[in-house]
A and B are shown apart, each in its own frame.
Chain A
């Protein structure tokens, strides 16, 4: 069982919808991440939160809006997405986001389809 829980597992949404992806971890980790993974490709970093503050935004379009309400929760709010945004969205956490030698723990992802 993964220690990073993502909901929902699958999501189908239209281009005018607003939806949210949720991620939760109870390992006491202080860094949390959103990655996007297209089929047969490696994960691509989207956002990093370190100690509940956004520390990295990889020039992600504003139709993706991250939120970190507390150290255990990470959300990704979606609005006006395009079909090319269909992908597996992975959440991850690590013990310490300041030094990148603490390994990432990944959730199983949300498979998003935009119609």
Chain B
């Protein structure tokens, strides 16, 4: 089975500061990795995904994430955040073979202060 741990439940940062949201996963098989964002009163939106290839993936809204197989991590970063980035961020994994399930982490609440 797969599991995802998001190490921080809440991350407050000031506007224009850099941010890193941490995600570690556990799996006995190869996985795909995803970051989703949920703005207040909305559904989830895909930020970026790692399927294969380059371990540094770039997503929407200036976010990027780096896959580290040895550390089983997939941390999300943004060099300069904006007030509009305030949201809940979910890291997720799925098996590559025969998978229809997405396993989510508990989420990290990112709050941007002016």
Contact = CB atoms under 8 A, between A and B. Distances in A.
Contacts of A41: 106-107
Contacts of B34: 103
B44 A43 contact: yes
Given A42-B107, A101-B51, A107 B100 contact: no
A106 B38 CA distance: 10
Contacts of A4: 43
A100 B100 contact: yes
A92 B43 contact: yes
B84 interface: no
Contacts of A73: none
A41 to B, nearest CB: 7
A47 to B, nearest CB: 11
Interface residues of B, number: 23
Contacts of B100: 31, 48, 50, 55-56, 97-98, 100
Contacts of B99: 99-100
Interface string B89-114: 01000111001111011110000000
Interface in A3-18: 4
B43 A90 contact: yes
Contacts of A75: none
B32 interface: yes
B101 A103 contact: no
Contact of A106 (B32, B43, B95, B106): B43
Interface string A91-115: 0100001111101111111000000
Given A42-B104, A42-B105, A104 B46 contact: yes
Contacts of B70: none
Interface of B: 32, 34, 36, 41-46, 49, 51, 90, 94-96, 99-102, 104-107
Interface of A: 2, 4, 31, 40-43, 45, 48, 50, 55-56, 90, 92, 97-101, 103-109
Given A43-B90, A92-B44, 9 more contacts: A42-B90, A43-B44, A92-B43, A97-B100, A100-B96, A100-B102, A103-B49, A106-B44, A108-B42
